Structure 1
Amino acid sequence: MTNALITGATKGMGRATAIALAKQGLNLSICSRNAQELSDFKAELKQIAPQIQVFTMVADVSKRDDVKNFAEFTDKNMGFVDILVNNVGMFKPSFILDDSEDSFQKQIDTNLMPAYELYRFFGKRMVSVGKGHIFNICSIAALAPVPEAGVYTVTKYALLGLNKVMKLEMQPHGVKVTAIIPGSTLTDSWRGADVDKNRMVLPEDIADAILTIYKMSPGANVDEMIVTPKYGQI
């Protein structure tokens, strides 16, 4: 069976992606800071696809030690990871000059560091067998800066840059790397906001995109996929 690891899998795009992959019969390794959410979601996934294995670990992937522990836990219990979805992220609206002292480090540690560390861990294993697919969930802010979310924009630019380096580094070894670049997507970042979901990208759209790209022929790689609201950004 095929194995997938997803960070930030209990909410938003990560959750939708986990459900989509479970329906395809893929084993999953997921983590969350909230043990109850993790347990509830595991039960939901097993109900959707009783035949799959779902490995869970309580972890805060904004902490490097937790990221490494989760990687080792996954490697030990699930084995080779065919699909790595670097989804976890945080959005904080603030101009850089007005931002809090800890904002830069916190967003680097959430939006960039986990992808870097998981790539270093699982990328070596993918190279050794000449297969695998890494998806990095970036943001339209990596292409069109949002000054009202300054640090977020910087970290997403960095993640897209990391994706480009990954692709070039993995290309000679037959490992695929794809940047998913969503525009305004209806996730928890919009909690409490008065928005019309019919004017936004839905998490399920991103999950469908990942699944479609993964199912392409062995010789095809989608470098970047941009998915934006048809009426424009919210």
Structure 2
Amino acid sequence: MKNALITGATKGIGRAVTIAFAKQGINVAICSRNDKELFDFKAELEATNPKITVAATVADCSKRDELKKFAEFTEKKLGFVEIIVNNVGMYKYSTILNDSDDSFQKQVDTNLMPAYELYRFFGKSMVSVGKGHIFNICSVAAINPVVEAGVYSVTKYALLGLNKVMRLEMQEYGVKVTAIIPGSTLTDSWRGQEVDETKMVKPEDIASAIVTILGMSTGANVDEMIIKPAPGQL
């Protein structure tokens, strides 16, 4: 049975991916800053598939010490982690010149640092075993920057760059690395805005794509996958 760690697992894309993994019989490690939200979701996952192990602990992934404790907890509870989904992120609507003084560091710590640290924590064990798959949830803002979300765009550019380096470092060891690049996706980022849900990507679409990629043969890797709304970006 495979083991997966998913950051930002209780909402949006992370939630959809985690549910999809549970249905596939994959053990999952999840965390959240909100203990009730976390353990309600744990119970939901265990009801979805009673055969899997759900390792859940309260942690804030934007804080390096708490992130490392989550990684250590996961390894202790599940053993070898074969799949990592770096999904945790924050979106802030602001141009760089008008942004708050703490915005850059907050978004780096949320959108970029966790993927870097989890790669360093689990990467060598993946190399030693000769298998694994890391998914980095990027954004089309990593390709076409959104000037109204300046720092967010910068961090997603950096995450896509990190993905490329990780893939090149890992490819000779049989470890796969994939950047998932979603367009306008129906998550909490759009809360309070009037949108046509029928013209957006659903979190379940991202989850389905990841499950499909995991099912590919050993010799195949999807370097990057862009998933946009059929009518175009909102």
TM-score (norm 1): 0.99
1:67 corresponds to: 67
Gaps in structure 2 of 5+ consecutive residues = none
Q: Give the letter for the 1:29 counterpart.
A: A
1:77 to partner: Cα distance: 1.1
Give RMSD over aligned pairs: 0.4
Cα distance, 1:40 vs structure 2: 0.4
> Any residues of structure 2 matched to 1:196-211 within 5 Å, and which?
196-211=196-211
Say whether 1:187 aligns with 2:187. Answer: yes
| Matched residue type, 2:143 | L
How far did 1:222 drift? 0.2
Q: Which amino acid aligns with 2:53?
A: Q
Q: Which residue of 1 aligns with 2:172?
A: 172
1:32 is aligned to 32
Q: Which amino acid aligns with 2:12?
A: G
* Percent identity over paired residues: 74
Tell whether 2:88 aligns with 1:88.
Answer: yes
Counterpart of 2:223? 223
**1:152-167 → structure 2 map (5 Å cutoff):** 152-167=152-167
1:44 equivalenced with 2:52 (yes/no): no
Quote the residue 1:13 is aligned against.
13
Pairing 1:100–2:100 present: yes
What is residue 78 of structure 1 aligned with on the other side?
78
Partner Cα distance (2:191, 2:41) in 1: 20
Normalised to the residue count of structure 2, the TM-score between the two structures is 0.99
Q: 1:3 and 2:11 equivalent?
A: no
Q: CA deviation at 1:76?
A: 1.0
Q: What amino acid sits opposite 2:160 in the alignment?
A: L
Q: How far did 1:166 drift?
A: 0.2
Give 1:174 deviation, angstroms: 0.5
Count of matched residue positions in the alignment of Structure 1 and Structure 2:
234
Aligned to 1:117: 117
The letter of the residue matching 1:196 is D
Counterpart of 2:107 in structure 1: which amino acid? Answer: Q
